[in-house]
Chain A
């Protein structure tokens, strides 16, 4: 059914245009005065001297979690690379020396230039091995090759940078609060 959208009738002052211009000029002058006399209220950061505060749950560059013995939690199941809509995760699996675990990644490479930072790999991981909570959002490098991060880069993080109260993920398989994992790794 066709519907007529009524156009708002303009008043005489609006048709004359000039009063409206004066209103607009007053508005912009107000913003100018704000910037001149109260620059501290402007929603602007002096980047890069002042970095923005990135929330912990912001989808940033990935990291790989470790088991209590320091090895990557990843079991090379290819779930993340299958879920990845950008096809940016490239994994090569190899047999694990640990007989409790079948496979481990020989190569785990993420091309950050191809990544769309959707977080589906994090959702897909059955053992909570991959996370995107590094808060590294401003990525820079001088060649494309340097944007391909491997196992070494993904495992290179400092535990003191991350909160210890993250109980939800520690209950995942391989986490320190998971009953079965505690038993497996002899954590009592």
Chain B
């Protein structure tokens, strides 16, 4: 019989982590639209506002709402001659896969908590499989099924061409992706993502990106191709195959594909952070050090966020002045909105600083002995887990930004160039890298 004790509830609670990539989707879309516009010297979306909240625009973040409403309320069209069942099922696949993959990412360090029957070890993954990363590769490779199936079921030549391209590209880059990550597996001696992160430790000089720089670049490139992002967006192509596999899709089915793509970016970024950027480790602060100095670390993190909110408040003031000099008929509304934003961020900064002081001065609980093992009380474990989750999400967002940044910098490749790069360049470099890593690892271990 299942016992409803604390570790079991925690295990259940861990399933919420599956929604981390889902929460990152609106942030990714915001970053994409705003990043693209600023890189192209324009303002980007900033019109959508919430009238009930004083016309607040939140720098364009509110744009996600009308986009969602639009996608939900548009006509969902099924083209003539489409295979109805597959046409309806296909858009769900990429997003389903993207919601399954976070189960093997370690979001925080393994913890030991006290249950009713003694000490319970709990890892930071939902599914602590030894073959963790293989599960992830397998699932992530499956997402192309959604693309190909949707393309085929649409009964459109352009869509089918796009789907074929996507699958060919996926096959080409899956090989280099696995081989470029293999260097890390050789060094860490494990496929388990928790073990890989533990092996990297908290010292940035021992992270995958330093030990395997070539592997990092190759893996990131393969991830661009895997997610179908420009410069590898062969599955789409305005001048060649119109919108590619998405061509016959409209409304929320189209939206599902897009959500799947952004969730895929989030999960790919989380994987890159886990394999190459020390995962959930804070730089120079191991899990044990974090748990024994939780108050001070939390205070530091809160203070950093307080400073950031203060900076945002200052920036809002600055924008308000710029708007005032430019004039325009909406100046009063903008002034009100900037006032509200400034107030929110100023109050937020104050609250964060107060919380930082409270965290720094709060008493730190001592370790307790359970079954002859020294363990931390639950709240220390949970606090540390929350901080580590935040660190991993921050790293993930940085890599997401790299995805967006590269997209708006590089021109897209021609199809033959993609194949050339995948089979003749990346694959060879990945093989050489793996060979060199294996030789060095063998020599070093003796």
Contact = CB atoms under 8 A, between A and B. Distances in A.
Q: Do A and B come from one complex?
A: yes
Interface of A: 18, 21, 24-25, 27-29, 31-32, 34-36, 39-40, 42-44, 46, 48-50
A31 B41 contact: yes
A34 B41 contact: yes
A60 to B, nearest CB: 21
Contact of A35 (B41, B325, B327, B405): B41
Contacts of A42: 41-43
Interface string B54-70: 00000000000000000
Contact of A18 (B39, B217, B331): B217
B35 interface: yes
A44 B409 contact: no
Given A24-B410, A25-B406, A35-B41, A50 B35 contact: no
B79 to A, nearest CB: 32
B409 A21 contact: yes
A41 to B, nearest CB: 9
Contacts of A28: 39, 405, 408-409
Q: Which 9 A-B pairs have the closest CB atoms?
A: A35-B38, A49-B328, A50-B328, A49-B330, A28-B409, A24-B409, A28-B39, A40-B322, A49-B329
B326 A46 contact: yes
13 contacts: A18-B217, A21-B406, A25-B409, A29-B405, A32-B35, A32-B39, A35-B37, A40-B325, A42-B42, A46-B43, A46-B330, A49-B330, A50-B328
B319 to A, nearest CB: 7
B428 interface: no
B38 A21 contact: no
B293 to A, nearest CB: 34
A44 B42 contact: yes
Contacts of A29: 405
A39 to B, nearest CB: 6
B40 interface: yes
Given A39-B319, A49-B330, A49-B331, 16 more contacts: A18-B217, A24-B409, A25-B405, A25-B406, A25-B409, A34-B41, A35-B37, A35-B41, A35-B42, A36-B38, A39-B43, A40-B322, A44-B41, A44-B42, A44-B43, A50-B329
Nearest to B331: A49
Contacts of B325: 40
A18 B214 CA distance: 12
B333 to A, nearest CB: 9
B40 A31 contact: yes
B326 A40 contact: yes
Interface string B321-351: 0100111111100000000000000000000
B8 to A, nearest CB: 47
Contacts of B409: 21, 24-25, 27-28
Interface string B422-440: 0000000000000000000
A46 B328 contact: yes
A42 B330 CA distance: 19
